[in-house]
Amino acid sequence: MTWIVAGLGNPGERYAGTRHNLGYRTVEELASRNSERFKKVRFVPVEVAEITHGGERLLLGRSQRFYNESGEVYASLARKRDVPPERIVVVHDDIDLAFGALRIKQGGSAGGNRGVESFVRALRTPDFYRVRLGVGRPPGRQDPVDFVLQPFGKRQEADVRMVVDDAADAVLSLVREGLAAAQDRYNRSTPRA
């Protein structure tokens, strides 16, 4: 069967190292591990790299639309490839989780994340998987939008690489072993020591 792993982010070099692009970085890590390249999909504004894991086919996606508008892109891809919502994994940053935290869940509220809200609208259900990657709250009174569009600090980069690596492993565990096993192994409230 086929899965879609939707890495949320914004296209273009300007956003590459920002907090909002952790989803992109996760699908790029999975593609890199398998020596796969992203290719444009005809008639859908998304780039996809295809890998196989444990007999399952995974379509790793990078939308070419902005973060908050990506739901319809993946809904179109899902229709085109006949993938139901319960076989879609959305990987995204989350300011409501401490930096370095990781949470896997299925369904529930979008928690104010406009990218996730766009999936709920486009898929007409909240019942897809989410791999939530903590970036922490903005300092002081900084606008959350400005915060997530800033790059990580140099001192954080080693931890960011670890989070991305763990997120990639969590996606594979979810696909191979199911939600409960992936949650037991990867859910955490703080960065991995």
Catalytic residue (choose from 8, 11, 19, 20): 20
Distance CA 20, CA 22 (A): 6
Phi, psi of 89 (to 5 degrees): -120, 120
* Fold assignment, 2-186: Rossmann fold (3.40.50)
Q: 20 catalytic, yes or no?
A: yes
Token pair belonging to 8? 């949320």
pLDDT at 193: 67
Phi, psi of 47 (to 5 degrees): -105, 140
Classify the phi-psi angles of 178: left when phi > 0, otherwise alpha if psi is within -120 to 50, otherwise beta. left
Compute CA distances 143 → 69, 102, 148, whole Å.
Answer: 20, 23, 9
pLDDT at 149: 94
Token pair belonging to 152? 């990580």
- The model's pLDDT over 115-133, given as tens digits with 9 standing for 90+, comes to 999 999 999 999 999 999 9
Overall residue count recorded for the chain in this entry: 193
pLDDT at 38: 98
Classify the phi-psi angles of 34: left when phi > 0, otherwise alpha if psi is within -120 to 50, otherwise beta. alpha
pLDDT at 142: 87
The H or E element containing residue 2 is strand 2-7
Sequence spans of domains, the chain: 2-186
Beta strands in 22-164 (DSSP E): 39-41, 44-53, 56-63, 88-94, 102-106, 129-134
Token pair belonging to 81? 């490839």
Residue ranges of the chain with pLDDT lower than 70? 193
Q: Are 152 and 116 in contact (CB under 8 A)?
A: no
Distance CA 98, CA 158 (A): 16
Q: Are 20 and 148 in contact (CB under 8 A)?
A: yes
One-letter identity of residue 155: R
Q: Are 134 and 164 in contact (CB under 8 A)?
A: no
pLDDT at 1: 87
